[in-house]
A and B are shown apart, each in its own frame.
Chain A
């Protein structure tokens, strides 16, 4: 599973990355988590509000930090 966290490095982006890691640990799922900080790459993914979260190339949320339970649902839906 490929998970991407989009954001130029603001506090919320770090929070999102942490929550993704926690969700993965709680679900006991292995995944590649990549942090995308390049502005071009963020825009090309169609994300206009950071932080953004994409799993397997599909944008799941942006502009907010989803709750851990929600992130778990995103992950499950891509398994």
Chain B
């Protein structure tokens, strides 16, 4: 699929710019052009596809679907985690969504399954993982993200933590936004998705490019496997440290994934890298500050603890089997 990109990069660097083959700079530039084009094409395709699917799941619909599955059933958790992929999410929406879900009678555990999956499994992360690590790692990321969301949600649901939700949440009567929800036509969906994709790509592109450039420098300066000694499979603390650093670090997937891909080349084990990326995306300080408005400190701590444990476990698991 990307042979032409390689040819284009070769032609630009070696024929148009006349940079010598095998020169360090020429090869780095070639790699940069090839990588950038490939990643942006994949991002474009994946963001567009997910945005299009998303147009069928506005938050009201998600809420209705989940509220219809009364109770803490296993199926409700799976559904919540899957809806988390296809509904739009930003950390500033976490609280209104949380209130909307709880008020609609969706069990707390199911709400958490959704809240864990939504930020972690997103179109930008998928596009970048596919572009930089390949399809297999991208799939591993989605599936383990979903499993963490489902399992953590089930555990949180079983603990009976409803009393640690701020009381006022239960007293809110959520109004009906009352927008006319006539289904958009196919043409409108396709067009709206295109606008959204364009805006999102514009927003993340500086981060992606900077990430790839810094990655390119690391490629030149850090020899392969230099970090293996510290963060390879043999260091049992590596995953723990990666998660501990990843949780407070607030970065978007766009900037962090290109760097992590270089770190794996430098010898950081794959499971450790996955755990780090998950910790960065799933749990962030700004989101926790917002969630604190609806969750009492104890519940917030349990939420972070269980999700963090799930990510840790995933990291160790993939360090063993990959």
- Which A residues lie at the B interface, using CB under 8 A? 7-10, 12-13, 39-40, 42-50, 52, 58-64
Contacts and interface: CB of A to CB of B under 8 A. Distances in A.
Contact of A46 (B168, B176, B196, B293): B176
Interface string B236-252: 00000000000000000
A52 B96 CA distance: 11
B178 A46 contact: yes
Given A39-B294, A46-B176, A49-B90, 12 more contacts: A7-B92, A8-B95, A47-B96, A48-B96, A49-B59, A49-B88, A49-B93, A49-B97, A50-B92, A50-B96, A52-B177, A64-B196
Interface string B54-87: 0000111001000000000000000000000000
B172 interface: yes
B192 to A, nearest CB: 9
Given A10-B90, A39-B294, A45 B177 contact: yes
Contacts of A58: 178
Contact of A47 (B88, B177, B196): B177
Contacts of B99: 39, 43
Contacts of B155: none
Contacts of B179: 59-62
A49 B287 CA distance: 14
A42 B103 CA distance: 14
Contact of B60 (A43, A44, A48, A60): A48
Interface in B151-208: 168, 172-179, 196
Given A39-B95, A63-B59, A63-B88, A45 B294 contact: no
Contacts of A64: 196
**What 3 A-B pairs are tightest by C-beta distance, nearest first?**
A46-B177, A10-B92, A46-B175
6 contacts: A8-B92, A40-B168, A47-B177, A48-B177, A50-B96, A60-B179
A41 B139 CA distance: 39
B115 to A, nearest CB: 13
B215 interface: no
B278 to A, nearest CB: 23
Contacts of B176: 46
B93 A63 contact: yes
Given A48-B59, A59-B178, A62-B177, A42 B90 contact: no
A52 B59 CA distance: 13
Nearest to A10: B92
A52 B177 CA distance: 10
Contacts of A63: 58-59, 88, 93
B145 interface: no
B299 interface: no
B189 to A, nearest CB: 14
A49 B96 contact: yes
Contacts of B93: 48-50, 63
A7 B96 CA distance: 9
A59 B177 contact: yes
Interface string B80-114: 00000000101111011101100100000000000
B104 to A, nearest CB: 10
A21 B197 CA distance: 25
B290 interface: yes
Which one of A12, A40, A43 has the greatest number of beta carbons of chain B within 10 Å? A43
A43 B59 contact: no
